Amino acid sequence: MKLARTRSTALAAGAALAAFVLLTACNRDSGGSGGSAGDGPAVGIDLPRSDSDFWNSYAEYLRKDIKSEGVNALPLSNSQNDITKLVANVQVFQNTGAKAVVMAPQDTGAIASTLDTLASKKIPVVSVDTRPDKGDVYMVVRADNRAYGTKACEFLGEQLGGEGKVAELQGALDSINGRDRSEAFAECMKTKFPKIEVFELPTDWKGDVASAKLQSLLAQHPDLNGIYMQAGGVFLQPTLALLEQKGLLKPAGQKGHISIISNDGIPQEFEAIRKGQIDATVSQPADLYAKYALYYAKAAAEGKTFEPGGTDHDSTIIKIPNGLEDQLPAPLVTKENVDDKTLWGNSVGQ
């Protein structure tokens, strides 16, 4: 009987272990790259989503840099825009020896308790593109998102001659990025272009939501003549498809053209600029996000520290309430410079 109980216990333990492996595997990144054979401290990396061309490009750069820089990366995970999955993935990183964690929390308010847990275990965090509202971070690798909103406002305002109607496809307003872009865009429009009417359309970074709301707006305001897309990676294709369906996709320079500016800098946006379908985008540096996320993660794991001020890579580190933020450059791209080979959108995949 003792042998039978031991065997039952062993079988139960094996089943539990298999279930745990299956559960954690559900959140593993399906794009490959299980990590690297680097010799340094282990780094846990969570990809935020795979439904955006921008974030897929970021993931591609990450995989390349992990190999080229010899980063000792644990198997990548993908939280798929789900804070519950992100928390579970971070727990796996803790259990498997991560000395630093790279994440890009899409809900910047809900991650605070997880950051507190990591801080209590002395595991530094690098947050990419998004700045957590609370909770300590070693470094935020990000561009100035308020500048995105201001650049979009100034470009559209000039394109429209200071008058017209503009649809703003906002990101999630529970995200610091969505708030920064929206607030800056609104402030600029109110101050510089008061004769432009802005229709704010919150979308939670979802292309189908953006398309549905834009369709309703066009039915009410067929004279709409400007669009600001806060994320080309999710909004570009559904927006262009809708405009084409309604016969509103007129090339730049032609009567009836709707002036469009976007954010991201993906290859598809560049192609749309070349075709005259959209007018401009602000290029988020997906390549630099990956490069410096790994750079700071390695530095954090090795106990290095940084101070506010200029860097050797054309950026500025600023002090934020819960840590530091390296604000990387994000240039405006128009038909004048869309073929610039230094833009990551012209080299991704090469």
The domain segmentation of the chain, as residue ranges, is 23-143+285-329, 145-283
pLDDT digits (tens, 9 = 90+) for 136-156: 999 999 999 999 999 999 999
The CATH number of the structural domain formed by 23-143+285-329 is 3.40.50.2300
86 burial type by CB count under 10 A (0-12 exposed, 13-18 middle, 19+ buried): buried
pLDDT digits (tens, 9 = 90+) for 18-28: 344 334 444 55
Could you give the CA distance from residue 45 to residue 100 in angstroms, rounded to a whole number? 9
Quick one: what percent of the chain has pLDDT higher than 70? 89
Whether the domain at 23-143+285-329 and the domain at 145-283 fall into the same CATH topology: yes
pLDDT digits (tens, 9 = 90+) for 273-310: 999 999 999 999 999 999 999 999 999 999 999 999 99
Domain 145-283 falls under CATH 3.30.565.10: no
| Whole-model pTM over 0.85 | no
pLDDT digits (tens, 9 = 90+) for 310-333: 999 999 999 999 999 999 999 999
Phi and psi angles of residue 189, each rounded to the nearest 5 degrees, phi first: -60, -45
User: What is the rounded average pLDDT of the residues 197-212?
Assistant: 97
Residue 214: pLDDT above 70?
A: yes
